[in-house]
Amino acid sequence: MKPNYKDGELMMEGVKLSTVASVIGTPVYCYSRGSIEAAYRGYENAFVPLANTLICYAVKANTNQAVIGTLAALGAGADVVSEGELRRALKAGVQASKIVYSGVAKKHGEMEFALKAGIYQFNVESEPELLALSKVADRLGLTASIALRVNPDVDAKTHDKIATGKSENKFGIPWRRVRAVYRLAGSLPGIRVQGIAMHIGSQLLSLEPYRAAYGRLAEMIDALVSDGVQLDSIDIGGGLGIRYEDDQPVPPEPAELAAMAHECLGHFGGRLIIEPGRSLLGAAGVLLSEVIYVKSGESRDFIIVDAAMNDLIRPAMYDAYHGVTPLQAPSGPARNYDIVGPVCESGDTFAKARAMSEVKAGDRVAFMDTGAYGAVMAGTYNSRLLVPEVMIAGAHFGIIRPRGTYEDLIGLDSSWDEVPSVKEVREA
Ligand code: LLP
């Protein structure tokens, strides 16, 4: 997202971000409700004309109740990967009939919870999972509607850690096993075969991997139809990238993805499911932080801010780029800085040799495009308090998650002397 300055102040909708930083303190995440809604409408306008489309927000990108609730109010379904995410989606108002449950390691208890909730679809990723689901559903006297998530062995040309559609990745049913596993699924109690699913990776900046994957998927569907399998839903996953950096390629628009899905898969009819995460939330959020010190090192200058890798792990984990911009419009000549946090690891670096106009202690900055995979991946490493979240709508802002407290941080631990129930185990 391009920084939006008005009268020298960085704005989000009608709110000066410096006001949020002053009132709430830093670090703090801020999300624009209007941007989230606009991004969702972008998908709706692109996909809904294809008829019978379900947009399932991949809640892993940002699980705050206010965020999920904003999308649920617009009619979004949800893609969840754990009982925790399923509970969050239901609590935020997503209808169970619009929820798909993905993930390679669903446990029996999680399956039971989802079956009782009456979700729309389990995306099953392996034969052992299929057998387990059949067992759980049969025991409960319920039926699990399933899609098999297939692995098309396509290179999504994204960061290795977020590519999911290659044969060496842990995801999906291996291509050569797919027809046999559908046969197995058709024979199991408690299982109703409903669809097919795929997700090849995240932060895709080109349509080509989708073209390859959808083409393979179409061939597989043809084969399954000739095997007599009836497929009512095709889940094409999420993954459209966003523009983090000016010199990166412009990512495809939802409309281009929709056109390609229509071209490759439209003739099968049935329900099309799409699971966007990053492209709904990424550009809608910023992380505000204060400069604690500016330090001149031997060979470089450091801006040390009060946000750290525990608040935003993407640079450390994926070498990800995030724009950094001051809350007061930059002035003066630019210099190169390394922008780092307080955590005691050299990996706690947000940017290297980044050109910024001169900053001083007490100035505040925004890390741009951090609405997706920011707060959700935060932790408390180095005993830092869990970062708070704020939502902005028009001229209003509200705290949607307060900053953690030292009581939260320490209070769940017990010293050995205070352990409530020490169990003695006598070895035989
Ligand atoms: N559906 C499935 C089955 C997924 O595994 C994912 C993301 C999505 C949908 C949503 O993909 P999106 O539209 O957000 O690209 N933490 C990483 C991203 C991990 C994505 C994992 N799967 C990051 O910060 O880049």
Q: What is the pLDDT of residues 198-239, one digit of tens each?
A: 999 999 999 999 999 999 999 999 999 999 999 999 999 999
The answer to the question of residue 180 being in a domain is yes
Distances (CA, A) of 30 to 63, 283, 386, 391, 402: 14, 11, 14, 6, 12
Share of the chain above pLDDT 70, in %: 98
- Segment 326-331 mean pLDDT: 93
173 and 322 fall within a common domain = no
Same domain, 162 and 260: yes
Q: Beta-carbon neighbour count of residue 321 at 10 Å?
A: 18
Q: How many domains does the chain have?
A: 2
Domain for residue 423, yes or no?
A: no
Q: Are residues 259 and 293 in the same domain?
A: no
* CA 270 to ligand 1 center in whole angstroms: 24
pLDDT at 156: 80
Separation between Cα atoms, residue 293 and residue 46, nearest integer Å: 46
Place of tokens 């100035």: 363
- For ligand 1, mutation pick of 278, 279, 280 (most atoms within 8 Å of CB): 278
Q: Whose CA is nearest to atom 19 of ligand 1?
A: 162
Residue 268 and residue 303 in one domain: no
Give yes or no for residue 150 having a pLDDT over 90.
Answer: yes
Whether residue 316 is contained in a domain is answered as yes
pLDDT at 427: 66
Active site residue 56: no
pLDDT, averaged across the chain: 95
Instruction: Verify that 299 and 259 share a domain, yes or no.
Output: no
| Atom of ligand 1 at shortest range from CA of 239 | 15
Model confidence at 174, pLDDT cuts 50, 70, 90, reads very high
User: Which residue of the set 30, 56, 264, 344 is catalytic?
Assistant: 344
pLDDT band at 418 (very low <50, low <70, confident <90, very high): confident
| Per-residue pLDDT tens over the stretch 116-125 | 999 999 999 9
| Band (44; pLDDT cuts 50, 70, 90) | very high
Please state, in angstroms and rounded to a whole number, the distance separating the CA atoms of residues 415 and 17. 41
Q: Which of 128, 143, 129 is nearest to 190 (CA)?
A: 143
Give the domain CATH number at 401. 2.40.37.10
pLDDT, residue 91, reads: 98
pLDDT (tens digit per residue) in 266-303: 888 899 999 999 999 999 999 999 999 999 988 999 99
The CA dihedral of 152, 155, 158, 163, to the nearest 10 degrees, is 40
Buried b (16+ CB within 10 A) or exposed e, 90-99: bebebbbebb
Same domain flag for 221 and 315: no
pTM exceeds cut of 0.85:
yes
Tokens of 93: 């108002």
Specify whether 300 is located in the same domain as 263. Answer: no
Q: Read off the pLDDT band of 422 (50, 70, 90).
A: low
Quick one: what percent of the chain has pLDDT higher than 90? 87
Domain of residue 379, residue span: 5-30+282-411
Which tens digit of pLDDT belongs to each residue from 181-205? 999 999 999 999 999 999 999 999 9
The preferred substitution site among 43, 71, 202, 281 for testing ligand 1, maximizing ligand atoms within 8 Å of CB, is 202
